[in-house]
Every structure is written in C-alpha cells, then in structure tokens.
Structure 1
Amino acid sequence: MTDERPRPRSPRRLRRRGRRRVLGGAAALLLVSGGLAAVLADAGPSTEGRLASSEADRSSWPPEGRRPGGPFAEDFAPIGQAPPREGDPEPGPDASTGRFTVDCGVNENGLRNSENVIVAPGVPNGAQHTHDYVGNQDVDRFTDDVGVNNAILARGETTCAGGDRSMHYWPVLRDTTVPGDDADRPGGGLDGNVGRILTPSSVTIEFLGNARGPVVAMPEFLQIITGNARAATQEGENANARWTCTGFGDRAFTDRYPLCPEGSDVVRVFDFPSCWDGEGVESADNRSHIVFPEEDGGCPDGFTAVPRLRQTLVYEVPDGPNFAVDGFPEERHDPITDHSDHINVMPRELMADVVDCLNGGLDCSPSSSPGAVPRPYAPTWENERW
C-alpha cells in the first residue's frame, strides 16, 4: 500500500511537460505573453481588463538573466474550470468527527530560510527555495543528528496557542511583478525564485478525525510531509496539494494556479497523511511511516489513525497570472510541486485534548475555557468555503 492514492495524469498534460523542458528563458517568456489570451478566455472581462497593467509591470521584471523557467501560461486557469473537489469519505458509526484548531499566526514576523530539516537536515540551502515557518521559532540551528534537532525543537519558542511547539513550514508564494529583497541570496534569486514574498492573509491549522473510527495520539517529534517538491519532474508522483479561491471550496486544482474573480483570494490547502505505523517518527523515504487513509477513510492493515492535519492558507495576490510558488530550479515553479511539512512537538496534555475532542465529535481549540463543553462539530461544505 502506497502512502498516497495515485491520481491519474492526462496524456495532454504530460505531453506539455515534455515540450516545456526544451524551452529557454526567452522562449518561455514568449509563450507566456502569447498564450495568456487563450488561458484567460473564460476568466471574464474584469480579469482581462486587469491583465494589461500587469503585462506592463512584467516588461521590466525580472531583470534579464534572472528570469526563471516558469511558471507558464498553461499553469494558470480560471477557478471556474477547476474540477469538483474530492470530498471526505462519509463517516461511519464509529467515526471521530471532531475538529481541533490551533492558532499559530501567519508568519507576520517573517521567519524564513531555505533549509529542510526533514528531507535534508544540516544541509545549507538544502531546499533551494524559501520556506515560511509558523509555530516553533528555533529553525536555524539544525544538524544531521535527529536527537539534537528534537532537543532544539523541544526548547524552542512558538507562535502557536496552548504552548504548541510544533513546526509547520511550506514554500513561500511570490508576487512576480516586482523584485524581492532576496534576489542575490540562496533560496531566492540565485535559485531562480524571484519576486516579492507574500505573507498569507490567514492561516488555519486544524486537526480532523477519521471516517472509520477513533484516533490515537501522534507521537512526539512525528515528521509528516504532504505533496512533492519534485512532482513536475516525477510525473505527478505524490502530488496532492490543492489550489482554489475563497468562495469556491467545492472545486480545486492540483496542477494549475487559480485565477480568482474580483473579491476572491487564492487558497492553498494541504491535507496530511494520518495513518501511522505505530513505530517510527520518521522513515528513510520520509513517507512510509505515515500514509494516507484508503478510499473509505480507514487505515491500511498495520496502521493506526492519528489526528489528520489540514493547513489552509489564503493570499491576496496581484491581478492576473503574476504569482508563483517557490521550488527547485528544475521544477519550473509548477503549481503541482506545492507541498508542506510538519513536525509534531505538541505537549502531551494538549495532544490528549486533541484526541478527546476529535473522538467526541466536538469543535475545540487551546483557548477553550477549562471545564467548558465545546459545541459539536458538524462538517459541511460551508466549513470549507474559506
């Protein structure tokens, strides 16, 4: 059993990727400028009207010699063209149906680096792109010794409520119409990631239950990855991050950036695997110790359900196809490479509260008054329309 159910890739999409790899920087820019009208044909007059000004902005940025190899015109599409979002499995009679939300802020203090303690611990610029961090603030002293790293995290300050020292990090999103302040730095312009870094307008971190039964506590220092930063060059393997717009929670892309209508903002959604092998907090491939549930929502044989982490990030982006997620240079800023990482450093008492909340079908947070009875949680489409 793999950790993520395979998602079919259309032959048309794969053929485009083959053509994409032979384009140089100048040809890529011609494709963007020449193909935008076709991509935006269904976006409506307001989007077309806004395109002219954003095209002018792009004429002088990025500077010659620093243009990344993407994203491309084909990487953007109006949200109305997105397929219906896959819903969660229907909960069974023994399901854990609650929700526990932790407020960790939006990284308003700008804590960022281009390292990756899970995939490349101790490697300077191991990610070759910049990550946003919320939660644990001690993110710059990692080695290749897992024990040392865990000790660092256990003492770190945090932006999360309830003393939750967990670490959450994801690649930044950039406004590509204007230069950023890291054009000459690793993880930024030196690795092809150009433009001004955008801070999310909101970040929702929540834990959900399991459709088939109760959940047990996550072990301390459990490492979890969702999505794949290499998905563009690995034909979509392990790609599962979703892109949508506020007000359109019933539809989402995995392989396009959404063009949102007036008054709607871009949304990134990360659902994490939640079936644990009961033994390790990490594995050699960073995935096999914790996998995704099966189609009915239950865990594969030999795995146990733990709280399911979902991160939802909302951004105000520039008008038109003028934003991109950071990534490895060869991945061409493809939206399918979006991903996120988590290390659980939640106090055991708080994790016990999470488990009780989910198994009890309640809606809770660390700020719930002691002794108060949280209200029942009833999942609906409206809960997820952001």
Structure 2
Amino acid sequence: MLGGGGLVAANVYASATEGWGDGSGTNGTGQVLSAGMATIDCPDVGSRLTAVPDAARPDVDRELALLDRQTAEAYHRLQQSGQTGAADSGAVEDTIVNPLKEQRAAAIGRIADAIDRAGDRPQGLDDLAACTLRTGGDGTGAGAQSSAAPTRSAQPGGAGQGGNGPVVSDYADITSVPPEAANPPQQSGASRGSFTSDCGVNANGLRNSDNVIVAPGVSNGAHHFHDYVGNQGNSAFASDDDLAKAGTSCVDQGDRSTYYWPVLRLQNGTQERDAGSPGGGTEGNAGQIVTPKQVTLTFVGNPRDKVTAMPRFLRIITGDAKAFVNGPGNANASWSCTGYENRQLKDKYPLCPPGSDVVRTFKFQSCWDGRNIDSANHRTHVAFTAPDGSCPAGFQAIPQLVQRIVYDVKAPSLQDGGRTVPLFAVDSFPEQLHKPVTDHGDFINVFDEDLMRQMVDCINSGRSCGPDGGDSGTTASPTASSGSGTTAAPGSGTTQQPGDTATPTSAPAPSTAQPSEEPRTDATTTPDRHTTAPDDGSGSTKQDHTTKRDHTTKQDRSTPPAPPAPTPAPTSAPTRSGAAQPQPSRPASAQATPAGYVPPAAAQPQAQGTQGGLAETGAHLWPAALGTLLALSGLIMLLRARRLRY
C-alpha cells in the first residue's frame, strides 16, 4: 500500500511540474518567472548622432556596437548577482554600474574624437556615460529599494512574472477609447493604389534577439526576441549579399525583404526554449510566445503626390524600443482590436471584447532623403509626412509600409493580476518594463527591382495589387491620407478600405491615422552613412565590427521536413559589400537560419488555462495508475488478513 501510494504521489507531482525546470525561479505554482525587475538604464548615444562624417563612420559604428555589448554584459552581471543573493544596491553600484560608466565614458570619448578628426566635435556626449540602476517595485522603473535582487513572486496588481511589468495600468478597454478624427482628403495628384505582399505569420518560428539594423555584428543586440517574416537569412551577421541570396517566406519570391517586430508573450509561466538565454528569460522576457493569427503587409501611396521606388536595402525603423526611458518623441505604437480599428491606443495594451482580436499596427515613414539607405541614428534618412501628406524639403514620397499583426488572445483578468487569464505584453529591453509604448517595427527593402517598379506603377495608377503581381483590375477608391493604412481583409488577398470591417459586424468601422508623435527629423543634418544601393543590388559597404559572439541555432524538432544544416556564424562581422561567405539560397519553406530560434512544439500557443495541468500530461500517468492498483491490492489483502485473523 505504501509503495503504491508513494508511486502515485511521485508520478503526479512529476507530471504536474513537467516542463517547468528544476523549480528555481518559480512562484511556487510551477510557473517560470522572469529574471526580475532590477535593470540598468543607459542613455541612448546613437539617437544623439544625427550627423556623422563619412570618414568617422567606421570608428563610430564600432564604438556604438561596443556600447551595446557593454550594457548587455552589465545586464548579465546584474542577473548573476541577483541569483547569488549578492545584489545589495550599494554593491551593485560599486561592482557593476560605476565600472560600466567608466567603460562607456571611454567609448563615448573615442566616438567624439573620431567625429572631431573629420568634422565638428559633438557636444554633450559626455553626459551620456552614466547609467542608472532601476529597482522600483511599482512597475514604473523608479524608486530605490534596499536590494536590487530580482523579485521572484508574481504581483497581485499585475506586475508581470518577475515584477518587471506589465502592470494593470498598462491596459485599457478599447470600447472606452474615442474614435479618431477623419483624415484630410486626398489631392488630385495623389497616389491612391496599394500593393500587398503575403509573407505568412512566422508559423515556422524564425526568431532571434539580434537587430542587424541597430546592432550589426552584435549577437543579442536587441536584448529581446523578434518575429521574422519574409527574408529567412536575417541575423546580426547578415550582409546585404546574404539577404539578397536568402530564401523568403513571401508568396511572391521577388520580395526578399525582411520584416520583424518584438514577439508577443502570454505571462502564463510557460518555459520557452529561450527561458535561460540572453534576450529571453535572463533579461526579463518570459512566457509563451504567441504566433500571430494574421499578418498583413500593405504598401500604400501618398495623399498629394506620386511615389518613387524605394532604394534596395533601404532600412527603416518605426517606433522606439526605448520610448519608456527616452520619451515619446520617436514612439509610434498603435494598439487596437478587430472591429474597433478607428480607436487606437499609443501607450496602453487593448482589452478587446469577446470575439475581437488584438491588433498591432505599424505605419512606417514614407518620405526618403533621396540619397541614403541608412543614417547614423537610423532615422534621419527617412521621415513621416506632415498632416497634409507633404514630405519635408529635400525628401520625396515613397510607398508607405503599413504592417498589421493580429493575435487571438483574450483580455487578461486584471482583477487578479492575470492569474485567471494571463497578461500579454511585447518583449522589451529590461529597463523598458514591457511598456506598450515601446512597440516598434523594422524593415529592410530587398524587393527585386522589377517587382518594386510594379509596386510603384500599381500605387501611382490607383490599382490594388497582390502577391505574384496579382491585380484587381480596378482603381482603388480615394483613401484619407498616406497614413490611412489600408489593410487586407482576412484571407482576401486584397486591400481593405477604411470603413470596412470584419468582426464584429456591429462594431464601429475601423480607420487609421498618422502617429500622434512625429519622429525627430532634421533634413539639414541628414548624414550620408550609406549610399543608395547600385542597380546591381550589391549595396554599399557595411562597416566592420569586432564584437561578434557565438550565435547558435535552435530548431523545432517537431517541424517536418527538417531544415538544412545551419551555416556557422562568420569569424568576423560581414560587410554589406559581401565580405562574408555568402549563404546559399534557400526555398521559402526553409525552417531556420543560422540565427533562427524555433520554439518546441510544447511551447506553441495552447488554450489558456491548461498550461501545466494534468490534462496535457495524462499520457505520462501510467505509473500513477499502476501505483493505484498496487495500493488497492494492498488494501484488499489487509482486509482479508484481518477477517482471517478474527
């Protein structure tokens, strides 16, 4: 009886906690918590470099990458100090924060010297060396505590899995948001058409924590994980040649562009395969990654003028991953719900009614300086239109990418901090506390030149075109503005005009508008970091970086067919002229890349409320069943023995 009972207890316990690790870093219920809320906040140096002379760019790029690596290493040391219980705030200042300031001061000094040798020395950079230790327990990132040790218990107020966000105040009922004002009418010379590219929803789980635009050559340069669609060769070490030769998930194989954004996670305790990895759980990004239900990539025109072709390898970042610390100047987050898309939230996650899905919308800059495919701060070579649709002086209109991502996630139960229905949030830098205002999107144009010309012709002629050069043959009805963000109806393959809606049918008709905050631009100081790619598509030279780290591939063992063996990371950071060994072309069905992270089947989205329950481990409970039979047999034998004795 004792043996059978022990077998039952041991098996049930093991099955109920299976997949949750060794119990360290949990909240006592089997849920894996994030690394905690203690973070290091460092000012962004790159955003201050609006003009960098050509001769200084190699040194500046190298030092910016070094600053990023220094911060990543400080995050790691802070995490280790919390795990060993040695994270006294004074000790952290002495052993982590102050040495980091010295390292940053030296790197910033080298940046200033490099620019001074080629032009005018920048002012004010020295003030950016100091970093701040943030240990606030209220989710605001402010307020010192006696210890910087990570918080390990879930907060009743909804402070996320490790106390590092999100909090209850980060959510708002979409039905309480007032509808946005109508956009201004289009002018007679407007480009009214649209072009849609279908690149899937990243069902193959291509993810990494790199950012080849902001931190080329730096592994884990983003400190959070991205979803990728389109180009299948995106990693921190990908050159323009690599991107041009990689496979694509897009239906039209002429679109090898790379589209990426921070993953959305459910704060439900699921242990993804990045739970112990940089960019994942070690930096506060924990929980189940949600694969989008729908991704729509639509290029629209300008309400005043015709558009011109984007240069190949043009890089655009919209939004600011550090907006919670930097302020809203470059923020461009837009959150809503299906059926309510004329109501947009900039700094809140939406609480959607039953039957309505969460929607993230990114409207990219649609004015280009006519010269550069990138800039020192990755912003000043492109700009948003003015409210009337006009571009700044010296800029020209290009097709505007409107990216719409839909998720089938329920409104979280705020009354109990997401314990009943989990909170959801985007991955973020640790100090950004998963705030919705930090949402952002990245795009690199790798369209074939012929397909780009077709896009421009389609938009300028007022037609609606789809994958594989599909053309509706009709002229698009006038849209409100270049920022109108017309999107394809689910599964239609065509564009959806403002006023159309899918679900719920009784909800207000969706529309879109320009971002409430115009990103900072300065046409007079636009740098020439990279020249426009030549017609042969080779691109301009990418600066060398010496901060490469090991970068491994994680593959989904449950996804047939198996992808090709990953190509080892290059021994030195590649250049955009193709100094790195080019990767072989791969079909659109390729499942992974050298930087790809693919979650296991067990970590794929599942019905809420069932994670870790016995329902999903029943197949492993046969020892418990055997133990039950042994216990019952022992009980029967005991009763019979007692009757025979008396």
Q: TM-score, normalised by structure 1?
A: 0.81
- Deviation digits for residues 278-320 of structure 1, max 9, x if unmatched? 0000000100001100110111110000000000000011441
Larger radius of gyration: 2
Secondary structure of 1:352's counterpart equals helix
Q: Any conservation in 2 of the 1:175–1:324 contact (CA below 8 Å)?
A: yes
Q: Give the drift of 1:88.
A: 4.1
Give the one of 157, 164, 175 matched to 1:32.
157
8 Å contact from structure 1 (residues 68, 193) kept in 2: no
Which residue number in structure 2 is paired with residue 374 of structure 1? 473
- Cα deviation, 1:94-133, whole Å, max 9, x if unaligned, reads 0001111000000000000000000001111000000000
Kindly indicate whether the alpha-carbon contact (under 8 Å) linking 1:75 and 1:335 is maintained by their aligned counterparts in 2: yes
Assess if the C-alpha contact under 8 Å between 1:271 and 1:310 holds in 2. Answer: yes
Q: Which amino acid aligns with 1:345?
A: V
Once the two structures are TM-superposed, the CA of residue 241 in structure 1 deviates from its matched residue by: 1.8
Task: Write out the 4+ residue segments of structure 1 that deviate beyond 4 Å after TM superposition.
Answer: 17-20, 23-31
**Which residues of 2 match residues 121-140 of structure 1 at below 5 A?**
121-140=216-235
- Provide closer, same or farther for how the CA distance between residues 214 and 333 of structure 1 changes in structure 2, counting only shifts above 3 A: same
- Which is richer in strand? 1
Match of 2:432 among 318, 331, 336: 331
1:79-106 deviation per Cα after TM superposition (whole angstroms, max 9, x unaligned): 0222433654321110001111000000
Q: 1:240 aligns with which of 332, 340, 344?
A: 332
**In structure 2, what is the equivalent of residue 215 of structure 1?**
307
| Residue 259 (structure 1) aligned with residue 357 (structure 2) | no
In structure 2, the partner of 1:71 is 166
Q: Is the 8 A contact 1:28 1:69 kept in 2?
A: no
Distance 1:343 1:374 in 2: 29
Relative contact order, CA 8 A, sep 6+: which one is greater? 1
Deviation at 1:32, TM superposition (A): 1.7
Amino-acid identity (%): 47
Runs (5+) with no aligned partner, structure 1? 1-16, 36-57
Deviations 1:39-76 (CA, angstroms, capped at 9, x unpaired):
xxxxxxxxxxxxxxxxxxx8xxx4xxxx1410111100
Deviation at 1:373, TM superposition (A): 5.8
1-structure distance, mates of 2:320, 2:500: 27
Select the residue among 202, 205, 209 that pairs with 2:294: 202
Which of 338, 361, 367 does residue 462 from structure 2 map onto? 361
1:159 and 2:249 correspond: yes
**Aligned positions of 1:302-341 closer than 5 A:** 302-320=394-412, 322-341=423-442
Distance in 2 separating the partners of 1:295 and 1:315? 30
**Using a 3 Å threshold, how does the CA distance of structure 1 residues 29 and 363 change in structure 2: closer, same or farther?**
same
Q: How does 1:188-199 map to 2 (within 5 A)?
A: 188-199=280-291
Q: Distance in 1 between matches of 2:192 and 2:156?
A: 47
| Aligned-residue RMSD, C-alpha | 2.3
Preserved CA contact (<8 Å) 2:141 2:431: no
Q: Distance in 2 between matches of 1:361 and 1:180?
A: 48
1:107-166, CA deviations, whole angstroms, 9 ceiling, x for partnerless residues?
0000000000000011110000000000000123x43xxxx7101001010011222100
Whole-Å separation in 2 of the counterparts to 1:249 and 1:153: 34
Q: For the Cα contact (< 8 Å) 1:97–1:358, is it kept in 2?
A: yes
Task: Extract unaligned runs of 5+ from structure 2.
Answer: 1-137, 415-422, 480-496, 502-509, 512-646
Paired residue type of 1:277: D
**Corresponding residue of 2:267:** 176
Amino acid at match of 2:403: Q
Distance 1:28 1:69, change over 3 A: farther
Q: Work out whether residues 162 and 350 of structure 1, in 8 Å CA contact, stay in contact via their aligned partners in 2.
A: no
1:86–1:272 Cα change, 3 Å:
farther
CA shift, 1:183, in A, is: 1.1
Instruction: Give how far 1:23 is off.
Output: 7.4
Of residues 106-115 and 317-326 in structure 1, the stretch that sits farther from structure 2 once superposed is: 317-326
- Match for residue 239 of structure 2 among 146, 149, 173: 149
1:98 aligns with 2:193: yes
How far apart are 1:185 and its partner, in Å? 1.1
Aligned length: 334
Report the counterpart of residue 10 of structure 1 in structure 2.
none
Moved more, 216-225 or 376-385: 376-385
Cα deviation for residue 19 of structure 1 reads: 5.2
* Aligned partner letter, 2:428: G
CA contact (8 A) 1:249 1:381 kept: no
Deviations 1:343-367 (A, max 9, x none): 0000111111110111111111133
Contact 1:107–1:133, Cα closer than 8 Å, also in 2: yes
Please state whether the residue corresponding to 2:289 is helix, strand or coil: strand
Q: Contact (CA 8 Å) 2:316, 2:378: kept in 1 or not?
A: yes
Query: How much does 1:18 deviate?
Result: 9.8
**Structure 1 residues 179 and 22: alpha-carbon distance in aligned structure 2, compared to 1, 3 A threshold:** farther
CA distance in 1 between counterparts of 2:207 and 2:393 reads: 39
Residue 154 of structure 1 aligns to a residue whose secondary structure is helix
**1:78–1:259 CA contact under 8 A, matched in 2:** yes
- What is the match of residue 38 of structure 1? none
Query: Normalising to structure 2: TM-score of the pair?
Result: 0.49
Rounded Cα–Cα distance in structure 2 between residues aligned with 1:332 and 1:270 = 21
CA distance in 2, matches of 1:18, 1:108: 32
Amino acid at match of 1:167: T
The letter for the 2-side match of 1:375 is T
